[in-house]
Structure formats: C-alpha cells, structure tokens
Amino acid sequence: DEYVSDIFMGGKHTLTTYNVCEDSLLAVPLMIDLVVLMELFQRVKYQTVDADGFQPLHPIASLLSYMLKAPVVPARAAVVNALGPQRRALENILRACVGLQPVNELELENKAYRDF
C-alpha cells in the first residue's frame, strides 16, 4: 500500500508499506483463542466416580482440533474430522466447566414412543 500526503513547503511524503504474509495477520485472533483455551484446559481437572482424586485433561488437547487444519489426538483415540462434532465437543466441555448439562441434539425423549 502507498500513502501520499502533503508536507511543508509543497512537498509530498510517500509512505509505502509491504506485508508479504497477510494470511498470518488474519490468523492472529485464532492464535489468541488457541492460547487462551489451552491455558484454560490446563487448569481443568475432573474426577470420575471410581477415581481416587482429580485428574487433568490429556496434554494433547484434541478439543482444540476445531480450530486446526489437521486434528491431533492421543494414541488409539478416534480422529474426528467433522467440524460440527468438533465444535459441539468444545462447547460441551465449556458448558461442563460452568456446571451446565451438555447439549444433546439427539433428543430421544422427544422421538421415543410415549402414550400420553
């Protein structure tokens, strides 16, 4: 981009800027979200019914695959490449962190036969 402005005594000032990697600038908000969510997930601890104490989430944060091109998962874990399920998993873990029930779009209670 080139910007020209008038300066003292009828002179012209030309400011030229070059940005070779504009795509990287577009990715900055995504990178900030990744850092903030990863920091949050490092603080999350959970406990199952049969466990003795609280455990951290797996260090390979497959929940963040929603924001990445190629998801990385722990060994022997299923790879989910579909954007919808990745987003729902991220939403549901965040809902669990604040004590809300997960969103289940199956709604079997409304699809099962009931005699009213």
Tell me whether residue 59 is in a domain.
yes
Tell me whether residue 22 is in a domain.
no
Distances (CA, A) of 67 to 3, 39, 41: 36, 15, 15
The C-alpha atoms of residue 85 and residue 66 are separated, in whole angstroms, by: 9
Q: Give the structural domain span for 80.
A: 30-101
Tell me whether residue 75 is in a domain.
yes
Q: Judge whether residue 114 has pLDDT over 70.
A: no
Q: What is the pTM of this model?
A: 0.67
Tell me whether residue 19 is in a domain.
no
67-103 residue pLDDT tens: 888 888 888 888 888 899 999 999 999 999 999 999 8
The C-alpha atoms of residue 75 and residue 70 are separated, in whole angstroms, by: 15
14-63 residue pLDDT tens: 988 877 777 777 788 898 999 999 999 999 999 989 989 999 988 888 88
